[in-house]
Structure 1
Amino acid sequence: MATTATVDFWFDPACPYTWLTSRWVVEAATVRPLDVRWRVMSLAVLNEGRDDDPEGDPEGYLWVPVRICAAVLRQYGQEGLGAFYAALWADRGDGGAKQWMNDPGAALADAGLPPELAEAGSRGDYDGAVRASHAEAIALLGPHVGTPIVAAPDPGGDADARIAFFGPVLS
């Protein structure tokens, strides 16, 4: 029987390419012995201090969904965060191509979580947790990356070694 490997998946919840990659890793976990551990990172944190704003976020909107994710993780754990992230990008039956995430309050409700958790998005209560998780991801590959970052155990057998990569997996 194969040993289950834990795959850490750092994501910014507002990134559509990261969403596509998350579906790839979820699908991989259906055919391989993988346990996905959801971790937050933030494009807002990544782009702090840059002269340009590649995300076009001068108002700081990107903080909202990642703060909510950090609140969900702290209060409802991995299962809650995975359910919220899935609901955030779920097709709500409007027939159009999915271009952007759903309303966080509606996604919380769809995930069976209290919609009031959406209030965390407008406060800095979870910024320290977001920054710490983000720093852990960046430490694996360096500062010139983005979202997502995926880390898995080294298949060579070294129990302490991990292989990490950055970038969306689109197919």
Structure 2
Amino acid sequence: MWFDPACPWAWMTSRWLMQVEQVRDVRVTWSVMSLSVLNEGRELPDDYRDLMDRSWGPVRVIVAASREHGDQVIKPLYDAMGTRIHLQEMDDRPTVIKEALAEVGLPAELARFADSDEVDEQLRASHQRAIDLVGNDVGTPVIAVEGVAFFGPVVTPAPKGEQAGRLWDGCLLVAGTPGFYELKRSREKGPDFS
């Protein structure tokens, strides 16, 4: 799964995949992509542009932490940041980063990467791996299933237990269907984090 910590839909998908791991023989690998990179050069409403500007920091810190401490820190750091961003509705990204690093037991000095482009090459490479698999007309989350990648699933609330497994089974089914590209309907509500 590729995620941006700022994306509530990626958060929902990650919670679903955690449930899938409990009911199916699946091991999720966690990778970053960036809504900020995705939206570079695009005309955006001011409030969304502000979100994109603030979204660089968390994803950069995850990339730096992974580079310095191994890929095993990606998911715990994402969980710590996502809890603060989505469940606690914290807007102050420096505080989100500081508290998340402390929770995971990572050095506080990793926060310096939030405002540096030092890891942007790695960030862009991870983002591009997702785009190469799924194409350009997507956002986050991206999942890859048996070599086929999709945007989504966008689901709320995140299915639990066997319902999570059944949605996974459906993803396997469409991934195994040659020529399958998309299913979509209009969203009628925002993320339900319950």
Smaller-chain TM-score bracket:
0.7 to 0.9
Change (3 A) 1:141 1:84: same
1:51 equivalent in structure 2: 43
Q: State whether structure 2 residue 76 is matched by structure 1 residue 83.
A: yes
Instruction: Mark the CA change 1:30 to 1:142 in structure 2 (over 3 Å): closer, same or farther.
Output: same
Q: 1:28 to 1:59 in 2, by over 3 A?
A: closer
The answer to whether structure 1 residue 165 and structure 2 residue 150 are counterparts is: yes
Q: Secondary structure at the match of 2:27?
A: strand
Q: Are 2:57 and 1:64 equivalent residues in the alignment?
A: yes
Q: If the length of structure 2 is used for normalisation, what is the TM-score?
A: 0.71
Task: State the one-letter code of the partner of 1:46.
Answer: L
Deviating runs (4+, > 4 A) in structure 1?
Answer: none
What corresponds to 1:38 in structure 2? Answer: 30
State the distance in 1 between where 2:2 and 2:82 align: 16
Structure-1 residue corresponding to 2:145: 152
Q: 3-state SS of the aligned residue for 2:30?
A: strand
Could you tell me which runs of 5 or more consecutive residues in structure 2 were left unpaired when the two chains were aligned: 159-194
Larger relative strand fraction: 1
Displacement of 1:59: 7.4
Aligned to 2:99: 106
The normalised TM-score by structure 1 is: 0.80
Asked whether the equivalents of residues 105 and 116 of structure 1 are also in contact (C-alpha less than 8 Å), the reply is: no
Query: 1:106 and 1:100 mapped to 2: Cα distance?
Result: 11
Count of aligned pairs between the two proteins = 152
Specify the SS of the correspondent of 2:132.
helix
